[in-house]
Amino acid sequence: MTPVIRADGLTRRFGSFTAVDHVSFSVEAGEVVGYLGPNGSGKTTTLRMLLGLLRPSEGRAEVLGYNTDREADKIRGRVGYMSQKFALYHELTVRENLEFYGGLYGVRKNGRVEETLSNLELEQLQNERVAVLSSGWRQRLALGVAIIHQPQLLFLDEPSSGVDPVTRRNFWEVIYRLAATGITVMVTTHYMDEAEYCQRVGIMQGGRLLAMDSPEHLKATLPGQVWEVHTPSLMEAFRVLERMPGIRRVGLSSDYLRAVSEREITPETIQRELSRHGIEEVEIHTTRASLEDVFLFLAGSSI
């Protein structure tokens, strides 16, 4: 079976700046794939190339078997796209927005708007103007707009920007309901928890795709140990660990430090090093690697 998305050395330059740098990957039908990276790492540019909105400077991509550069017309009716700015008309009501986009996709099927309204639990709000909706409901509606024509493939570009965590979780339940019907989903995010929901996650940094694998595999491949270091002297400890040989990276995580070390490092060696600098009140335990550790580790070693 041909992959739903295949990118091959996809590159995009804006002047002397390379936004996307030789990115290759493929996505199979029915997958929910995340694309994780900080702002400006090339996630949106990649999506825009896959949608035929931007031309690749180099390399090529196929979506649903069509070349994105030459056959964008064939791709457009079959994919859905939810852009970062929810592309909604504020003067129109919820229903009018759905009807409008449905019309553009040539949806003549009776009841498709009602079906979408009920799938997204938007019936109550159907006659409200978008201008008065909260960002959570706008997110829902933007998703509705992207799926009104029942696409085979759905691109979501930072769907959760500006949306609170509870709404975010509900949103992902909707995404999984969609995926269960066989839709392939590719979603960009800079939220680690969101990436955890995905079957596979690609990690982007500086325009390059550093890794792409399931969250479990990514965590398992992290070389070394992850430690939680609890101490009242957080900043002092941070500065010490930063310079300690064998510590690959250290980061502040709410009220404790998170350190990724080489395998040889033990809690005792860390304790000794801290105490050598006069930090005595320390509690150290090992913990499981998170996606954030993987991301920070990969991003750190790629610079």
- The residue within the footprint of other proteins, chosen from 43, 48, 138, 140 (CB under 8 A), is 48
Residue 66 binds to other proteins (criterion: CB under 8 A) = no
What gap in Å lies between CA 176 and CA 153, rounded to an integer?
13
Phi and psi at residue 122, to the nearest 5°: -105, 5
Residue 53 binds to other proteins (criterion: CB under 8 A) = yes
Q: How far is the CB of 104 from other proteins (least distance, A)?
A: 4
Which of 93-101, 162-170, 202-210, 279-287 is the region at the interface with other proteins (rule: CB under 8 A)? 93-101
- The residue within the footprint of other proteins, chosen from 25, 35, 101, 172 (CB under 8 A), is 101
Residue 237 burial class via C-beta count within 10 angstroms: exposed 0-12, middle 13-18, buried 19 and up: buried
Q: Which residue has the tokens 């999984």?
A: 176
Q: How far is the CB of 49 from other proteins (least distance, A)?
A: 10
**What is the footprint of other proteins within residues 111-130 (CB under 8 A)?**
none
Closest CB to other proteins among residues 54, 240: 54
Closest CB to other proteins among residues 126, 271: 126
Which of 18-26, 49-57, 173-181, 227-235 is the region at the interface with other proteins (rule: CB under 8 A)? 49-57
Q: Pick the closest to residue 168 from 132, 147, 149, 195 (CA basis).
A: 195
Which of 59-67, 78-86, 183-191, 201-209 is the region at the interface with other proteins (rule: CB under 8 A)? 78-86
Residue 79 binds to other proteins (criterion: CB under 8 A) = yes
List helix spans (H) across the chain: 43-50, 72-76, 94-104, 112-119, 135-147, 165-180, 192-196, 215-220, 234-243, 267-276, 291-302
Q: Are 25 and 7 in contact (CB under 8 A)?
A: yes
Q: How far is the CB of 77 from other proteins (least distance, A)?
A: 5
**What is the footprint of other proteins within residues 137-166 (CB under 8 A)?**
145
- The residue within the footprint of other proteins, chosen from 38, 103, 165, 223 (CB under 8 A), is 103
Closest CB to other proteins among residues 47, 175: 47
Question: Strand, helix or coil at 225?
Answer: strand
β-pairing, 32-36 with 200-205? parallel
> DSSP string spanning 233-292?
-HHHHHHHHHHSTTEEEEEEETTEEEEEE-TT--HHHHHHHHHHTT----EEEEE---HH
Residue 88 binds to other proteins (criterion: CB under 8 A) = yes
Binding site for other proteins (CB under 8 A): 48, 51-55, 73, 76-77, 79, 81, 83-92, 96, 99-106, 108, 145
